[in-house]
């Protein structure tokens, strides 16, 4: 096959990808243009892990402000859309044990949450995800005198991960 035929075939294949609607991920903006501001109130929960109800909305607001065209406002009455969230369950589950003492050395923080983004003017649900399960791990010491509570940093890591994934899902409608 000559070089010219190869170039024509490669060009035709590239044209086929363009004409079939193929696009690079992360470039879509499927939110209505009328939505410019978003309010993110504290999440609700029945869990005793109350810090996550504030940390998650703060991390999500930071992600919206740094990665998107949307501006996060404090009051739902001033927003074009409101992102509501609920922590359905928060579980702390030992996953790795010290073979000598039998005490847990690694713990999994498992959170199931429900989020929905609703346009204020129409009441239309722009995005929803129910029982979204996410996890973070942290280590604990088997020696009480060396104990340092890593649950707080684990909650912060989990909040940042959720915020990144959620904003990506909302903006790209995945």
pLDDT of 20 strictly over 80: no
CATH class of 28-172: alpha beta
pTM over 0.95: no
> pLDDT digits over 9-19, tens only?
545 445 444 44
> Residue 140: its pLDDT value, please?
78
> Residue 129: its pLDDT value, please?
94
> pLDDT digits over 27-53, tens only?
445 688 899 999 999 999 988 777 888
Angle (deg, nearest 10), helices 51-67 and 151-172: 40
For CA atoms 124, 129, 130, 136, give the dihedral sign. negative
């Amino acid at each position: 096959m000559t070089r010219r035929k190869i170039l024509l075939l490669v060009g035709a294949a590239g044209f086929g990808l363009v004409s079939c609607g193929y696009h690079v991920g992360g470039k879509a903006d499927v939110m209505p243009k009328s939505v410019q501001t978003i309010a993110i109130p504290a999440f609700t929960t029945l869990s005793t892990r109350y810090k996550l109800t504030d940390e998650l909305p703060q991390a999500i607001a930071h992600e919206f402000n740094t990665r998107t065209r949307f501006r996060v406002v404090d009051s739902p009455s001033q927003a074009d859309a409101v992102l509501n969230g609920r922590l359905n369950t928060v579980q702390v589950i030992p996953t790795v044990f010290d073979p000598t003492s039998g005490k847990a050395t690694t713990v999994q923080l498992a959170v199931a949450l429900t989020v929905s983004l609703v346009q204020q003017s129409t009441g239309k649900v722009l995005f929803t995800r129910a029982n979204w399960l996410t996890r973070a791990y942290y280590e604990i010491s088997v020696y009480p005198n060396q104990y340092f509570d890593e649950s707080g940093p684990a909650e912060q890591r989990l909040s940042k991960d959720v915020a990144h994934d959620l904003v990506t899902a909302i903006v790209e409608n995945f």
